[in-house]
Amino acid sequence: MQVVKTAQDVRGLRWADPTLTWGLVPTMGALHEGHLSLVRRARAENDRVGVSIFVNPIQFNRQDDLDAYPRDLERDAELLAAEGVDLIWTPSNTEMYPPDFQTYVSVETMTAGLEGAARPGHFRGVTTVVAKLFNVFQPTRAYFGQKDAQQAAVIRQMVRDLAFNLDIIVCPIVREPDGLAMSSRNVRLGPEARQAALVLFRALNAARSAWENGCRDGDRLRDTMRAVIAAEPLARLDYVSAAHPVTLQEIEGETEQVLLSMAVFIGDVRLIDNMVLKTGAVE
Ligand code: PAF
């Protein structure tokens, strides 16, 4: 496994043998089982696997959130070596954003709501860095988690709009045995908050039960999730949504498919979770 910093080194390794397929897993480090599930899928589907680790400052709209983001490169590298990763790319801030940097990629309509509304500028930061990672790395396939459902939908849209020559693979959410979606932020939950954090999955499951009992109405699904969150004293709701899984438009009236999603503060830790429901199927 090679660990490199510069775009030039990445290109040298990636194109050493142009016949090989490469899977790229873009990350911000602090790796957990969710990331490793992406790495394993990339390992199974490509000749070579690269992982980028870069805590992207321009996708954080709060300095304290950026400062608190966990970083542990040594541990990340050990985990990735054990998964048979070929290349780790850890660019510096100045490699990604030299002092005269002034070009941004922005996906418009579908970034207005949900995480986009709660975190102004977030998706512009994500799509800009991901476009640059794709441009330098030129992977055959890139892997993202369904946990960040809006991010996955926005990146798919960017790839279509700008005709990037790669496949986007979105992998299922990985959960702890009790249902909490894995996240780098979970390490910041104390024991009481960790227990309270289960309310997100509980709310999604309540909406799923309603769906299974025939409820197809956007408002009723949102109300069901809101009621469960409201009953948890340590939880403060940021938003709940029942939206179309591709366009991310909120469902008004009835639907055959829905992306249920939410962001909830447990103390000062903001957690997100989601679930896709389709008539006749649950993802
Ligand atoms: O999902 C993440 O970890 C980040 O948003 C990503 C895709 C690596 C871009 O910085």
pLDDT per residue as tens digits for the range 236-247: 999 999 999 999
CA 267 to chain centre: 22
Which of 71, 12, 80, 78 has the alpha carbon at shortest distance from 51? 80
Q: Which fold has domain 184-282?
A: Pantoate--beta-alanine Ligase; Chain: A,domain 2 (3.30.1300)
User: By C-alpha distance, which of 228, 33, 6, 160 is closest to 95?
Assistant: 6
Q: Which atom of ligand 1 is nearest to the CA of 52?
A: 8
Strands of 281-282's sheet in order across: 235-243, 257-266, 269-278, 281-282
Separate counts of helices (H) and strands (E) for the chain = 11, 10
Give residue limits of the domains in the chain: 2-171, 184-282
pLDDT of res. 184: 82
Which of 37, 59, 90, when mutated, tests ligand 1's pocket best, judged by the most ligand atoms within 8 Å of its CB?
A: 59
Answer whether 0.85 is exceeded by the pTM: yes
pLDDT above 90 for 68: no
Q: Do the domains at 2-171 and 184-282 have one common CATH topology?
A: no
**Cβ 126 vs Cβ 134: under 8 Å:** no
Alpha-helical segments (H) within 145-249:
149-162, 191-196, 199-212, 218-230
Q: Tokens for 113, please give them.
A: 């709501």
Digit-coded pLDDT (tens) for 197-235: 999 999 999 999 999 999 999 999 999 999 999 999 999
Active site residues: 35
Annotation: CATH topology of 2-171: Rossmann fold (3.40.50)
The partner residues of 141 in beta bridges, in order of sequence, read: 23, 167
Indicate the burial class of 190 (C-beta count within 10 angstroms; 0-12, 13-18, 19 or more). Answer: exposed
The position carrying tokens 């459902």 is 149
Token duo for residue 104? 């941004």
% of the chain at pLDDT higher than 90: 94
Q: Which helix (H) or strand (E) holds 16?
A: none
How confident is the prediction for the chain on average, in pLDDT? 96
Contact partners, residue 6, CB within 8 Å, separation at least 6 = 91, 95
Q: Which residues line ligand 1 (CB under 6 A)?
A: 26-28, 56, 59, 126, 129-130, 148, 151
pLDDT reported for residue 65: 85
Check residue 75 and give its pLDDT.
Answer: 97
The pLDDT of residue 110 is 96
Label residue 281 by pLDDT band (50, 70, 90).
low
CB 46 within 8 A of CB 127: no
Question: Nearest residue CA, atom 5 of ligand 1?
Answer: 126
Q: Residue 283 above 60 pLDDT?
A: no
The percentage of the chain sitting over the pLDDT mark of 70, rounded to a whole number, equals: 99
